[in-house]
Structure 1
Amino acid sequence: MRNFLYSVALQWKLDIRSKSLLVTCYLVPLLFFLLMGGVFTSIMPEMKHTLISAMIVMGVSMGALIGLPPSLAETYGSDIKKMYKANGVPICLGLATMFVSAFLHLMMLCIILFLLAPILFQASLPVNPPLFFLALALYMAVSLSIGSVLGLVVKSQAKLTMVSQLVFLPSILLSGIMFPMELLPKAFQVIGKLFPATWGNLLMQDNGFRLENLWYLILLFLVAVIVCGILLKQQKSK
């Protein structure tokens, strides 16, 4: 456990110095929040009740789907993987440390958004903050697990960027965070429900922590964990 915590702390320090993580986990989500928070609440005043969850969904999706996969692809597609094998280090260590480090960075982002939204845009705070953060933690875990699958499956950085965007953009546009899902055509509503962002947004809203919004996220997480396990076994045999 001590070695694992040391590895997480080391990965945390490396991520802090990463320009890619700075952009995807902090800079772009915060700029989007500052620019669009006022626009959304001006056009749709009722969005003050859902602004915090909407901005968090955007930030977590960007960090998990665009920020994490390139780091994983770089690690498991380079000589770092060979170093793990040569030193008897479990092949899953890189994934685990990057997962935890990204989780902590995204949680810091979410706390910043949580604190700033009521001050800057008079956004409503959740009725039950502990339950809100429990829903947030679950949504982050699911999003990061999907990002982990992308990083392990797609080896080429150029292809990975394209695939990550193909997952990220529908997650944001069809999740209901920018406009009500009821305004979308039925086909787009169905497609939107395939992405965890939709369910994460519903889960974090007041009285949204219910089984009907929870089961699909749990299912996605379990499937992603199994897929990651299979992919890591394949990495170990190469």
Structure 2
Amino acid sequence: MSAFLYGVVLQWKLDIRSRSLLITCYIVPLLFFMVMGGIFTAIIPESRETLIPSMTVMGVSTGALIGLPPSLLEIYGSDIKKVYRANGVPLYLGMVSIFLSAFIHLSIMSAIIFFAAPVIFGASVPPNPTLYSGALTIFIIVSLSVGCVLGLSLKNQAKLTMISQLIFLPSIMLSGIMFSADLLPGPLAAAGKVFPAAWGYKLLLNNGFKTENLLPLAAILATAVLICILMLKKLKSE
């Protein structure tokens, strides 16, 4: 247990110094929040009601789908995994430590948006912060699990970047945070429901913590966990 905690703390320290993680977990999401928050509230004043959930979904998706996978690739796509084996360290430890470190970073970023949005843009605060925190925790975990699948499945940095973008962009555009998903054609609206961002956004909205929004996220999480287990077994046998 002490070795596991040491690994998590070490990964946390490494991530703090990571320029890519700093960009994807803090700079890009918070810059998007500052720019788009001003635009949304100026053009559509009603967007203040959903500003915190929409900007949070954007930030979490950026960190999970673009920031997390390259960190996993650095371990499992290089000789670092051989070091794990040579020292008797479980192969899953790298993924778990990066997962927990990214979870902390994304939670901090989400907290910044939660407290800054009402002050800067007059955004509405969720009426039940405890329930909102629970919904946010679930969304971050599911999003990071999808990021883990990407990081374990691809071994080429260029291909990983391209695939991450191909998943990130439609997940944001079809999630409903930019415009109502009801305006989308039927096939695009259905495609958007494949990604955790669409369900996470619904879950974070007022009165959105419902079984109908939790079940799809649970299905995505279960699928991602199963794929990660299979990929780790494959890496262990290589």
Taking structure 1 as the reference length, the TM-score comes to 0.99
Q: Distance in 1 between matches of 2:163 and 2:85?
A: 29
What secondary structure does 2:178 align onto?
coil
Unaligned runs of 5+ in 2: none
Aligned partner of residue 152 in structure 2, secondary structure: helix
The share of aligned pairs that are identical, in percent, is 60
C-alpha separation in 2, matches of 1:42 and 1:23: 26
CA distance in 2, matches of 1:41, 1:184: 22
Q: Secondary structure at the match of 2:213?
A: helix
CA-based RMSD of the aligned residues comes to 0.6
Q: Distance in 2 between matches of 1:149 and 1:114?
A: 28
Segments ≥4 residues shifted beyond 6 Å: none
How big is the shift at 1:73?
1.0
Q: Report the Cα offset of residue 203 of structure 1.
A: 0.2
Measured in 2, the distance between the counterparts of 1:17 and 1:113 equals: 22
- C-alpha distance in 1 between matches for 2:148 and 2:4: 18
Match of 1:187 in 2: 187
The 1-side partners of 2:110 and 2:221 are apart by: 20
Structure-2 residue corresponding to 1:18: 18
- How far apart, in 2, do the equivalents of 1:204 and 1:103 lie? 17
Match of 1:131 in 2: 131
* 1:237 and 2:237 correspond: yes
Partner in structure 2 of residue 37 of structure 1:
37
Alpha-carbon deviation of 1:158? 0.1
Residue 47 of structure 1 deviates from its aligned partner by: 1.0
1:110-121 equivalence runs, <5 A = 110-121=110-121
Once the two structures are TM-superposed, the CA of residue 40 in structure 1 deviates from its matched residue by 0.6
TM-score, normalised to structure 2, is 0.99
Give the aligned residue type for 1:199. W
**Which one-letter code corresponds to 1:148 in the other structure?**
C
Deviation (angstroms), 1:162: 0.3
Partner of 2:214: 214
Shift in Å at residue 188 of structure 1? Answer: 1.1
Following TM superposition, by how much is the alpha carbon of 1:46 offset from its aligned partner in structure 2, in angstroms? Answer: 1.2
- Partners of 2:64 and 2:75 in 1: how far apart? 16
The SS at the match of 2:155 is coil
* Structural mapping, 1:1-238, within 5 Å: 1-238=1-238
Distance in 2 (CA, whole Å) between partners of 1:55 and 1:75 is 30
Residues 169-196 of structure 1: CA deviation (Å, up to 9, x unaligned):
0111110001111111111111111111
Deviations 1:203-224, CA, capped at 9 Å, x for gaps: 0111000000110001110111
Provide the C-alpha distance between the structure 2 equivalents of 1:5 and 1:106, rounded to a whole number of angstroms.
Answer: 19
Instruction: Find the aligned partners of 1:105 and 1:54 in 2 and give their Cα distance.
Output: 18
Deviation at 1:236, TM superposition (A): 0.7
Q: Deviations over 1:123-182 (max 9, x none)?
A: 000011111010000000000000000000011000000000000001111100011111
For the residue of structure 2 that corresponds to 1:90, the secondary structure is: coil
The one-letter code matched in structure 2 to 1:113 is: I
Equivalent residue letter for 2:27:
L
Counterpart amino acid of 1:54?
S
1:25 aligns to what SS in structure 2?
helix
Separation of aligned partners in 1, 2:44 and 2:2: 49
